[in-house]
């Protein structure tokens, strides 16, 4: 899921799973990933080729998924850590 849906590299996904001890991602890492994807979307605003248009669609979908995961996590699993990230 991390590689396909959130566009993590294989190394970054493996590192996060090793750090967490399971197949999950922390709020902090997910928030940083969302910000990276949002910045990448902003850089792809002016498209020139079909390849750039396909990449923009793929990155936008990953950005939306990351945002929804953050929203779900902050809504259903509130804690002091999650509140401090807002």
Annotated domain spans of the chain: 10-85
- DSSP class of 46: S
Query: Whole-angstrom Cα distance, residue 68 to residue 47?
Result: 26
List all residues 6 or more positions away from 53 whose beta carbon is below 8 Å from its beta carbon.
Answer: 47
Q: In this predicted model, what pLDDT tens digit does every residue of 1-60 receive, in sequence order?
A: 777 777 777 787 777 777 777 667 778 888 888 898 899 888 888 878 888 888 888 999
Q: pTM of this prediction?
A: 0.72
């Amino acid at each position: 899921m991390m590689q396909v849906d959130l566009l993590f590299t294989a190394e970054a996904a493996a590192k996060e799973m090793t750090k967490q001890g399971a197949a999950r991602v922390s709020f902090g890492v997910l928030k940083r990933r969302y910000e990276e994807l949002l910045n990448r979307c902003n850089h792809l605003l002016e498209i020139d080729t079909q390849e750039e248009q396909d990449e923009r669609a793929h990155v936008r979908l990953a950005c939306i998924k990351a945002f929804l995961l953050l929203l779900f996590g902050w809504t259903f699993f509130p804690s002091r850590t999650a509140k401090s990230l807002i």
